[in-house]
């Protein structure tokens, strides 16, 4: 009987040692130890999707785990944000978050299904899509100064399109309106492509567009760039001046896309994600792909991204309130 008790205790002790060793191994296993789901709040084929897939491919090679891109459009990015917030805060579900997700939505909607400040943790800013003022190729508008002069001469006569109400493209033009003292009519579209088609056809006078969306129209001679809302000229458009050069230093606007995780994700996991994603962005082949597509690669620290979000919230919320822009 005593031998049987001894054997039972021995097995129990061995089981405990095994469980403890297994737990220790799980706790010290390097991140990531399994596939990462990368949620993109837009359909496949767009700029945010390209950014996630290009960086994700390199990231997968670096960490030795699959990166599964999951497109979840809807609700002006709120559907994807809510999905990530409901997922375990372990770093295995991450989100491509743009200005809409982290900055605009909380001012555009009285009720939002998530709180960007409380529910999401910034990881890194991946890249920027600087905005460009474009007009139809055959327009009689000579340059950006001429555009502003003509719009001022006939208040309410100039129409401009955008990729949608509350989009970076829409708010970039609102920023120009305020800084240049213009009164123009906004015509929102469901995406940049249909807006560009109408611009090329002369149905609208102008629009703000990013290089990724507008490159085909610009290179194809259907849209003419007048100025860029960027601190410096774009390498793809070296002859196009910045708004600052024209005397409008506050007209800076870009679609900014970063990576965020659910609030509560362990700091070491956030740090690991930030390090691996920025390493992927810094690879020469990846950088060149992004630049060729019209994206300005960044790869910031988590703190830099968090600081940028706070600064952008102050700037854009003021504009949205003063212009009485709402999506409710």
pLDDT given at position 5: 52
Just give the CATH number of 36-128+256-322: 3.40.190.150
Q: Note the pLDDT of residue 19.
A: 46
Residue 18 has pLDDT above 90, yes or no: no
pTM: 0.88
pLDDT at 111: 93
Q: What are phi and psi of 38, to 5 degrees?
A: -110, 105
Tell me if 36-128+256-322 shares its fold with 130-246.
yes
Residue-wise pLDDT tens digits, 139-172: 999 999 999 999 999 999 999 999 999 999 999 9
Query: In which band, very low, low, confident or very high, does the pLDDT at 21 lie, cut at 50, 70 and 90?
Result: very low
Render pLDDT for 29-82 as a digit per residue (tens, 0 to 9). 789 999 999 999 999 988 999 999 999 999 999 999 999 999 999 999 999 999
Question: If you average pLDDT over residues 249-262, what whole number do you get?
Answer: 97
pLDDT grade for 232, boundaries at 50, 70 and 90:
very high
Q: How far apart are CA 230 and CA 246, in angstroms?
A: 12
Rounded to a whole number of angstroms, the distance between the first and last alpha carbons of the chain is 76
Q: Are 179 and 248 in contact (CB under 8 A)?
A: yes
> Per-domain residue ranges for the chain?
36-128+256-322, 130-246
* Radius of gyration, CA atoms only, the chain: 24
Model pLDDT for residues 93-135, shown as the tens digit of each residue = 999 999 999 999 999 999 999 999 999 999 999 999 999 999 9
Q: Prior bond to 183 cis, omega within 30?
A: no
The answer regarding whether domain 130-246 maps to CATH 2.40.50.140 reads no
d(CA 188, CA 220): 23
């Amino acid at each position: 009987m005593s031998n049987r008790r001894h054997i039972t205790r021995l097995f129990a002790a061995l089981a405990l040692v095994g469980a403890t060793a297994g737990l220790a191994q799980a706790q010290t296993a390097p991140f990531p130890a399994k596939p990462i789901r990368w949620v993109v709040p837009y359909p496949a084929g767009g700029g945010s999707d390209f950014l996630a897939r290009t960086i994700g491919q390199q990231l997968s090679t670096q960490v030795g785990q699959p990166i599964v891109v999951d497109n979840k459009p809807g609700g002006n990015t709120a559907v994807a944000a809510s999905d990530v917030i409901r997922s375990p805060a372990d770093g295995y579900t991450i989100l491509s978050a743009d200005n809409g997700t982290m900055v605009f939505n909380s001012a555009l909607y009285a009720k939002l299904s998530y709180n960007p400040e409380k529910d999401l943790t910034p990881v890194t800013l991946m890249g920027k899509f600087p905005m460009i003022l474009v007009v139809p190729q055959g327009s009689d508008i000579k340059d950006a100064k001429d555009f502003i002069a003509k719009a001022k001469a006939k208040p309410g006569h100039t129409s401009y399109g955008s990729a949608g109400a509350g989009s970076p493209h829409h708010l970039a033009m609102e920023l120009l309106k305020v800084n240049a003292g213009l009164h123009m009519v906004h015509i929102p579209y469901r995406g940049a492509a249909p807006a560009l088609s109408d611009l090329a056809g002369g149905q609208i006078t102008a629009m703000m567009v990013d290089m990724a969306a507008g490159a085909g129209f610009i290179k194809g001679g259907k849209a003419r760039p007048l100025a860029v809302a960027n601190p410096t000229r774009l390498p793809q458009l070296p002859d196009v001046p910045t708004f600052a050069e024209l005397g409008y230093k506050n007209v800076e606007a870009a679609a900014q896309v970063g990576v965020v995780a659910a609030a509560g994700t362990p700091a070491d996991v956030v740090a690991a994600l930030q390090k691996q994603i920025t390493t992927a962005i810094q690879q020469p082949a990846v950088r060149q792909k992004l630049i060729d597509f019209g994206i300005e690669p960044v790869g910031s620290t988590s703190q830099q991204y968090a600081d940028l979000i706070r600064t952008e919230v102050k700037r854009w919320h003021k504009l949205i309130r003063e212009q009485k822009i709402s999506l409710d």
